[in-house]
């Protein structure tokens, strides 16, 4: 029985001049990959329970470390699997040099994205839950940073899969990079002849009423210009909810319109005076 089992393990599935794949090699390879998958799962649970829930540890850096460990383990597992079935990595690389050159030319953008991903993971300029604005104006929250791509959730709950090279080559605004609170503004115009002091007071009162607008730094009003049809103002405010700021701006505009009606402050229509000269 033992002899038959040994014969089964040594049974050749694929035989060439360079390597011989047996049942034993195949089972060993499957076990290596399975063990790697289980080990990565265990590491993920450790990170989830001990690190991701620790408020003193940066979530983005923790995720980056986990990603690096995962890719490193898979790389080791693949190399060991190839060695187990008799395929030498050095022989494989030497024998496929021309193929690798061709693949390199065809996949240079993929390699560029991977290298960019390594820079993102190591430098820490982009982290999980950061609010970013891409060069096309799209704003979203970073959900996942991988070696080749990064997943961003937009304000419409749409997941964008963005190549990592875009964060290196393009101008990307990271609203979360410097300070937690970010400054925004809402523009409004009032009719000529309005009491500008009253306008300033109403705008500040409207900003103070919103629960998501920071009390420190305090909002302020800027008299920005004498427009063609209006006196132009901007009310500036800070908030730590950059991702929801468009909703905050909308709430502020509703409140401004309401208070302007109560205080009889008019928002003018654009107008032009046309003078007819008769001969």
Q: Tens digit of pLDDT for each residue in 221-266?
A: 999 999 888 999 999 999 988 888 899 999 999 999 999 999 999 9
Q: Tens digit of pLDDT for each residue in 10-21?
A: 666 666 666 667
Task: Say if residue 100's pLDDT is above 70.
Answer: no
Q: Tens digit of pLDDT for each residue in 207-228?
A: 999 999 999 899 999 999 998 8
Q: In the predicted model, what is the mean pLDDT of residues 146-169? A: 88
Tokens read off for 71? 């890719």
Instruction: Tell me the pairing of strands 173-174 and 182-190.
Output: unpaired
CATH code at 182-262: 3.30.70.100
What's the whole-model pTM score? 0.58
What is the structure's pLDDT at 94?
A: 57
Q: Which residue has the higher pLDDT, 173 or 188?
A: 188
Q: Which residues pair with 131 in a beta bridge?
A: 141
pLDDT confidence tier of residue 129, bands split at 50, 70 and 90: confident
Q: Which residue has the higher pLDDT, 264 or 108?
A: 264
Q: Which residue has the higher pLDDT, 242 or 192?
A: 192
Residue of 226, 234, 251 lying closest to 200 (CA atoms): 234
What is the structure's pLDDT at 256?
A: 96
Task: Say if residue 96's pLDDT is above 80.
Answer: no
Q: How far apart are CA 102 and CA 100, in angstroms?
A: 5
Residue of 260, 183, 258, 257 lying closest to 219 (CA atoms): 183
Task: Say if residue 8's pLDDT is above 70.
Answer: no
Residue of 171, 182, 185, 178 lying closest to 136 (CA atoms): 171
Tokens read off for 255? 């409140």
| Highest mean pLDDT out of 42-51, 103-112, 169-178, 236-245 | 236-245
Its sign, for the CA torsion 166, 169, 172, 177, is: positive
- Block residue for tokens 């289980």: 38
The lowest-confidence range among 72-81, 159-168, 259-268 is 72-81
Which letter does DSSP use for residue 242 in this model? G
Task: Say if residue 2's pLDDT is above 70.
Answer: no
Q: How far apart are CA 172 and CA 135, in angstroms?
A: 6
The architecture CATH gives domain 124-174: Roll (2.30)
Q: Where are the domains of the chain?
A: 2-95, 124-174, 182-262
Compute the C-alpha angle 134/128/248, nearest 5°.
Answer: 60
């Amino acid at each position: 029985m033992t002899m038959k089992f040994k014969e089964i393990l040594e049974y050749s599935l694929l035989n060439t001049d360079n390597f011989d794949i047996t049942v034993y090699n195949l089972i060993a390879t499957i076990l290596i990959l399975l063990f790697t998958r289980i080990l990565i799962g265990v590491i993920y649970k450790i990170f989830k329970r001990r690190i991701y829930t620790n408020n003193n540890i940066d979530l983005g850096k923790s995720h980056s470390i986990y990603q690096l460990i995962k890719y490193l383990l898979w790389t080791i597992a693949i190399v060991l699997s190839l060695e187990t079935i008799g395929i030498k990595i050095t022989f494989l690389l030497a024998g496929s040099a021309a193929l690798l050159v061709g693949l390199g030319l065809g996949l240079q953008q993929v390699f560029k994205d991977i290298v960019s991903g390594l820079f993102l993971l190591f430098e820490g300029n982009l982290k999980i839950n950061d609010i970013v604005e891409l060069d096309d104006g799209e704003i979203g929250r970073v959900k996942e940073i991988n070696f080749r791509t990064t997943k961003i959730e937009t304000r419409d709950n749409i997941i964008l899969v963005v190549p990592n090279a875009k964060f290196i080559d393009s101008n990307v605004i990271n609203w979360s990079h410097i300070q937690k609170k970010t400054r925004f503004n809402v523009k409004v115009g009032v009719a000529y002849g309005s009491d500008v002091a009253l306008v300033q007071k109403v705008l500040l009162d409207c900003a103070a009423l919103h629960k998501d607008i920071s009390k420190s730094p305090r909002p302020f009003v800027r008299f920005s210009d004498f427009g063609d049809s209006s006196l132009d103002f901007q009310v500036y405010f800070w908030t730590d909810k950059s991702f929801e700021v468009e909703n905050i701006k909308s709430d502020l505009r509703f409140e401004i319109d309401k208070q302007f009606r109560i205080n009889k402050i008019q928002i003018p229509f654009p107008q032009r005076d046309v003078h007819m000269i008769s001969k």
